[in-house]
Amino acid sequence: MRLPEKIHKWISDEAYRADEIGMSGSSVLIFEDKVLKIQDRSKESENEYRMMLWLQKKLPVPQVLAYEIVDQKSYLLMSKCSGKMTCEEEYMRSPEAQVKVLAEGLKKLWQVDIADCPGDWNLQNKLAAAREQVEMGLVDMDNVEPDTFGEKGFRSPEDLLQWLYDHQPKEELVLSHGDYCLPNIFGEGNGVSGYIDLGRTGIADKWCDIALCYRSLSHNYTGRYHGHAYPAYDDMLLFRELGIEPDWEKIRYYILLDEFF
Ligand SMILES: Nc1ncnc2c1ncn2[C@@H]1O[C@H](COP(=O)(O)OP(=O)(O)OP(=O)(O)O)[C@@H](O)[C@H]1O
Ligand SMILES: [Mg+2]
């Protein structure tokens, strides 16, 4: 593969493996201690770079080593996170530790001062981005929750988008990861060791991340990604660890909103 010179000089001919988890059309090359994420240049790729820089020393995010845009492709070279993704076997087999990492990861996000945060994904911006996804035909209908559309659900993405515009909840603005699912959060023991995939990270309602975390736990436990279910799943564990009561209306709202991304 031909890489921009500025990137190539960091890695020369080091061996790598290509990651197979990503669903967003990006290529992720994993080296011994570095990771190279290559994706089409977009608002999200630029936001990811900007937020990763802004969060250096604030949260355990990868160190940015180099960033280049060539021919409308973005190349982000970063350090590799220590620890394991919270969807890995070690965590799937110990839900208490897993949920401690995830809850700590959320609380640490909420403690970050957002006064000069460069990413803003408040609901107006997110709804506008969802509308763009619809207009560009980018809504992935093969990757939606089973009941979102069809007989018991919405007629179409346009129909769902209108409903989301009509039912906007009041936001509690915090620093939000924006795609708070298990493969994007790394842990070491009971603590969070890395946040990655920061394309939609910025200011947003705290329930946005709670909702996607809840959905990701449930998908991983019921076997959507592992080929088998893990019977130990208790969907209240996350809320107990966070010390808050679930707001099911908001959880449903943000899971529905995420169908566009
Ligand atoms: N800095 C990193 N350290 C360790 N592993 C990483 C790092 N960056 C990416 N990975 C690995 O590559 C995977 C995909 O990366 P990332 O989530 O950034 O890409 P993506 O294409 O946006 O994924 P998706 O859209 O599926 O969430 C991660 O789940 C992780 O396994
Ligand atoms: Mg990811």
Ligand nearest to the CA of 40: 1
Q: How far is the CA of 196 from the centre of ligand 2 (A)?
A: 7
Cα–Cα distances (Å) from 257 to 95, 152, 239, in that order, read 27, 17, 21
Rounded Cα–Cα distance for residues 108 and 112 (Å): 7
Q: Which one of the ligands is nearest to 44 CA? A: 1
Separation of CA 184 and ligand 2 centre (Å): 5
Pocket of ligand 1 (CB under 6 A): 19, 21-24, 26, 28, 35, 37, 62, 78, 80-81, 85, 179, 183-184, 196-197
39 neighbors 70 (Cβ within 8 angstroms): no
Q: How far is CA 147 from CA 151, 218, 260, in A?
A: 8, 15, 15
Catalytic residue among 179, 197, 205, 258: 179
What pLDDT sits at residue 21? 59
| Residue 26 CA, ligand 1 centroid: distance in Å | 9
CA of 158 to the centre of ligand 2 (A): 26
Phi, then psi, of 247 in degrees rounded to 5: -100, 90
Tell me, in angstroms, the distance from the centre of ligand 2 to residue 151's CA: 31
Residue type, 72: Q
Report the pLDDT value the prediction gives residue 22, as an integer from 0 to 100: 59
Structure tokens that stand for 18 in this block: 């290509």
Q: Please state whether the predicted TM-score (pTM) of the whole model is above 0.75.
A: yes
| Interior/surface letters 120-150, b for 16+ CB within 10 angstroms, e for the rest | ebebebbbebbbebeeeeebeeeebeeeebe
Burial grade of 32 (CB within 10 A; 0-12, 13-18, 19 or more) = exposed
Domains of the chain: 5-79 (3.30.200.20), 84-260 (3.90.1200.10)
Q: Tell me what pLDDT residue 162 has.
A: 98
Mutation test of ligand 1: which of 11, 17, 19 has the most ligand atoms closer than 8 Å to its C-beta? 19
CA distance 102 to 241: 9
Question: Distance between CA 92 and CA 232 in Å, rounded?
Answer: 9
Per-residue pLDDT of the chain (261 residues; tens, 9 = 90+): 789 999 999 998 899 999 875 566 789 999 999 999 999 999 999 999 999 999 999 999 999 999 999 999 999 999 999 999 999 999 999 999 999 999 999 999 999 999 999 999 999 999 999 999 999 999 999 999 999 999 999 999 999 999 999 999 999 999 999 999 999 999 999 999 999 999 999 999 999 999 999 999 999 999 888 889 898 889 999 999 999 999 999 999 999 999 999
Q: Which ligand is nearest to the CA of 26?
A: 1
Q: Using CA positions, which residue lies closest to atom 16 of ligand 1?
A: 197
Contact 185, 220 (CB under 8 A): no
Q: Are 190 and 100 in contact (CB under 8 A)?
A: yes
pLDDT at site 2: 86
Can 205 be counted among the known catalytic residues? no
Q: What is the position in ligand 1's atom list of the atom closest to the CA of 85?
A: 31
| Residue to mutate (ligand 1; options 84, 197, 209, 225; most atoms within 8 A of CB) | 197
